[in-house]
């Protein structure tokens, strides 16, 4: 039986690892905050003290951490995955990171005969819990096919987008789209409230027409309940938008809508809401 490893048990990673366990796969886990692993350990997961220790025991390792610097530490640190790697292993990074880092890890892996896929996901906490994430993959087709069944344990759609870094580029396109819908959803609520409309009725009505979108139907109801818990952290979304803008600049593209969204999320984080969910953008207008 293939031994799996899973590193990063945050808002999404914990649910993803749980789906792998529920599908009957043996999973070794590591996360910086060990308490986050207790539920999985009670469900049959094994614990490793470092990423290196995970690599020493697993055949395929999945990682989903916060920032590119965390990815570098997990893969390239003194007790990182590469320090414990062996030929033939597969490492799959599902963190939203930079295409350049994905390509660097692929090259570092190739030098060790270790296969690397970049496979960021979209769908937030709800998609992770319900096992219906969208997973965007970059890497070798034959390695992708070997990993696809495991990705399918927590994904509704899994697709190879191209070579190393292509998964990250696709995730940037995804985040650019979400940036526009989050700003639009927020301004819709602000406008509708100022006009004296019934907000649940507006959400239900507008959501059934051409303005319907995932953010409106999933995040607007949370806002009305004053639920700003993170399905996806505002600080991580800002990180993603900054990566997208950096890549756009490298390609000589001007993305004013994305730049505006980044400006608004930067302001939100500076106001102390960085650990709220992305729906907390409304707090720039509503002091709740």
Mention every residue, 6+ apart, whose C-beta is less than 8 A from residue 208.
none
| Residues recognised as catalytic | 171
Helices marked H in the chain = 13-22, 38-42, 51-57, 68-76, 99-111, 124-130, 141-151, 166-194, 199-207, 214-224, 234-250, 256-268
At 38, which helix (H) or strand (E)? helix 38-42
Asked whether 50 and 2 are in contact (CB, 8 A), the reply is: no
**Reduced to 3 states, what is the DSSP secondary structure of residue 30?**
strand
Total count of residues recorded for the chain: 288
Question: Would you state the structure tokens that stand for residue 48, as one six-digit string?
Answer: 């490793």
Asked whether 264 and 281 are in contact (CB, 8 A), the reply is: yes
Question: Would you state the structure tokens that stand for residue 286, as one six-digit string?
Answer: 């509503």
Rounded CA separation 230/281 (Å) = 12
C-alpha R_g of the chain? 19
């Amino acid at each position: 039986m293939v031994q799996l490893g899973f590193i990063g048990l945050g808002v999404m990673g914990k649910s993803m690892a749980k789906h792998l366990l529920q599908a009957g796969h043996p999973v070794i886990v590591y996360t910086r905050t060990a308490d986050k692993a207790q539920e999985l350990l009670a469900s049959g997961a094994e614990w490793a003290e470092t990423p290196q220790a995970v690599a020493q025991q697993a055949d395929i390792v999945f990682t989903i951490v916060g920032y590119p610097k965390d990815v570098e530490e997990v893969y390239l640190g003194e007790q990182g995955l590469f320090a414990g790697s062996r030929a033939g292993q597969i490492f799959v990074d599902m963190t939203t990171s930079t295409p350049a880092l994905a390509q660097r890890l692929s090259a570092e892996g190739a030098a060790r005969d270790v296969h690397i896929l970049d496979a960021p996901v979209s769908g937030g906490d709800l998609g992770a819990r319900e096992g219906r994430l969208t997973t965007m993959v970059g890497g070798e087709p034959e390695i992708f096919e070997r990993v696809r069944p495991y990705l399918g344990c927590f994904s509704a759609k899994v697709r190879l987008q191209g070579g190393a870094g292509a998964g990250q580029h696709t995730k940037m396109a995804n985040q650019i789209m979400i940036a526009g819908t989050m700003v639009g959803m927020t301004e819709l609520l602000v406008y509708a409230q100022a006009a004296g409309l019934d907000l649940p009725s507006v959400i239900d009505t507008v959501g059934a027409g051409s303005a319907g979108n995932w953010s409106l139907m999933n995040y607007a109801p949370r806002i009305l309940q004053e639920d700003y818990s993170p399905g996806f952290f505002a600080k991580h979304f800002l990180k993603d938008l900054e990566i997208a803008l950096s890549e756009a600049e490298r390609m000589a593209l001007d993305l004013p809508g994305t730049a505006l969204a980044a400006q608004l999320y930067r302001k939100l984080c500076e106001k102390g809401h960085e650990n709220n969910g992305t729906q907390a953008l409304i707090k720039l207008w509503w002091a709740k």
